[in-house]
Amino acid sequence: MKSKKAQLQMGESIFVVIIILLLIVFGLVFASNAEEDSIRADKEDFLDLDSITLTKYASSLAELQCSLLDVTELSCFDIDKLTAFSNVTDKYPEISAEYYFSQFGNANITVHEIYPSNRNWTIYYNGLEDGEVGKIKTTTVPISLYDGITKRKSFGILEIQAISK
Amino acid sequence: MAKKNNKKGQLEIQFNWIFVIIIGAVILGFLLTFIFSQGDANDKKVSASIANNFETIITSTNQKIGTVKSYKVPDVDINFVCDQDQGLYYYSIGGVNAKDTKHELIFSSEHLRGTRIFTWTEKWSVPYQVATFLYITNDREHFSFVTSYPQTSLETDLIENFADNLSISILNQSATGFENVPSAGLNKMAYTFVVVDDLSNSPLPDPNDFIQTPHDRTRIILINPKSSSNIFESGKVAFLDFDTYKDFANGNTLAAEDETSSYFGKASLYASIFAGNKERYECGMSKAMSRLQLVTLMQYYKTISVEPYISSACKSYIIGSDFDEALWGARLVLKELNVTIADSDFGVQSADDIIGLISKLKNLNNKIVVESNCPLIY
């Protein structure tokens, strides 16, 4: 009789332990899911932040900005410098590739001339490859484009795509 | 029989207790491990969050040239590592490596700890704009400018162009000695004394007259400008401790030789003051030179891209003659400048060569501005 009672008591103890363990496991699963959601939200925030940083950096690149002597003009790109930039990045990847990758990372940066003519300059390209999945955040900034030969300005857009792979 | 049953009951009760204690210990151990790992992860999360905010501070500050900004930060260690020999360039916050800074032009002490940091920026133009230098200090670093009697225009320029709102004292020299000498009671982590050796052959001040701070936390930046009218153009800068400075001031000119570097441009001179030692300054400047090389190459290719569209009059400025160095156009000067920068070890000689070529470029650009309607070089 007593042995049966002891068995029952032991069964009770085991049952309580199992329930506690189950509760802990459920708690952990819930916590890790919440953490995953929070990481996902953080990732989106970081992409937004990256996009702002990139836009700020790209629109103030000294090697592309219009300048008169030592004074640079905000939101203005020199067309001759855009051409020179493409030449240097094509011909001297050993100097330029790592530098710009460290500044821009995964992004595409293009300058579009909108008026009076339509021309495009790809400043930087490190986008998604075929079949690759990722999020793209596009920001556009209105800029003016200066032609040093004709001394005329045209209207353009700086398009920055920040990519999260 | 009753005795046997009693013994069995005791065994069962003991076993129950042992079972509960073991399982309880396992659960407790598991929970404690979980709590501690969460605490550790949380510390890292806080450091990462500070690092992320710090990165935003650095990026946004970089865009606003000339402004001093003050930020309240948690009291954690911020370390800026710039080691050319080992190829290490990063900053860490609270022991977490926060960001690679291989291409960031940041000049600061190696170790900062305080609740308020200050950032200041200067653009580095040589003569076209190359980069923005970011200087970082905190409320536990003090800068003192030691002046001559009477104060020279070079010293005035250096002080007036320095960042506002930092912990600064100007040690005016009078007939009776120095005023505003910082005492050890200021309780700062680092004291930087800036002395200008202005080529006037007047003796350098005795360090005992203006240094009362602990010697192990004191550094002296001795600036020797090349020009007697413009301190910022170019010159030499020595990073000395108390004893080496004393030795040098007493006439041992070789004492500072190993600690001397060169500067050109305002941003570069102020970089030396914030970096505080030769290795850190030259490490930052070597990154700046890589950037200068890249921008110079672009300026060179700009002269190529405009060539088909410019008049023959413009060509004399932009392209010039290959055969006579006196008639070199911008393209040849930029080409030579690029080669000189690539070979530069940031020694005094290479700095002189670079400054000579920059001066040629400035003259050509000024001629274009005044005499012609050609596209500007910069």
For residue A75, pLDDT beyond 70: yes
Q: In chain B, which residues have their Cβ closer than 8 Å to the Cβ of A69?
A: 127, 365, 369, 376, 378
For residue A47, pLDDT beyond 90: no
Band (pLDDT 50/70/90 cuts) for residue A3 is low
The residues near B290 (Cβ < 8 Å, ≥ 6 apart) are A95, A99, B103
pLDDT of residue B61: 66
Residues in chain B where the model's pLDDT stays below 50? none
The dihedral region occupied by A69, where left means phi > 0, alpha psi between -120 and 50, and beta the remainder, is: left
Q: In chain B, which residues have their Cβ closer than 8 Å to the Cβ of A85?
A: 298
Q: How far apart are CA B172 and CA A52, in angstroms?
A: 46
User: Are the CB atoms for B124 and B131 separated by under 8 Å?
Assistant: yes
Task: State the pTM of this model.
Answer: 0.84
Of B131, B297, B309, the CB nearest to A88: B297
The residues near B243 (Cβ < 8 Å, ≥ 6 apart) are B215
Report pLDDT digits (tens) over A116-154.
999 999 999 998 888 888 889 999 999 999 999 898 999
Contact A56 B304 (CB under 8 A): no
Four-CA torsion A48, A49, A51, A55, nearest 10 degrees: 140
Contact B52 A24 (CB under 8 A): no
pLDDT of residue B10: 63
Q: Does A83 touch chain B (CB under 8 A)?
A: yes
Contact A95 B130 (CB under 8 A): no
For B94-207, list the strands marked E by DSSP.
96-100, 106-108, 111-112, 116-125, 129-138, 141-146, 168-171, 173-174, 177-178, 190-196
pLDDT of residue B62: 64
pLDDT of residue B142: 95
- Please name every residue paired with A120 in a beta bridge, in sequence order, or none if there are none: A112
Count the neighbouring beta carbons within 10 Å of the beta carbon of residue B234: 23
pLDDT of residue B5: 58
Q: How many CB pairs under 8 A join A and B?
A: 109
Sheet containing A119-125, strands listed edge to edge, beginning at the edge strand earlier in sequence: A65-68, A71-78, A135-147, A152-164, A107-115, A119-125
Report pLDDT digits (tens) over B209-222.
999 999 999 999 99
Band (pLDDT 50/70/90 cuts) for residue A2 is low
Instruction: Report the complex ipTM.
Output: 0.79
With CA atoms as reference, the chain A residue closest to B308 would be A149
Q: Would you state the structure tokens that stand for residue B263, as one six-digit string?
A: 């500067």
Task: Compute CA distances B91 → A75, A84, B265, whole Å.
Answer: 31, 33, 26
Q: In chain B, which residues have their Cβ closer than 8 Å to the Cβ of A15?
A: none
Contact A88 B375 (CB under 8 A): no
Cα distance from A37 to chain B (closest Cα, Å)?
A: 15
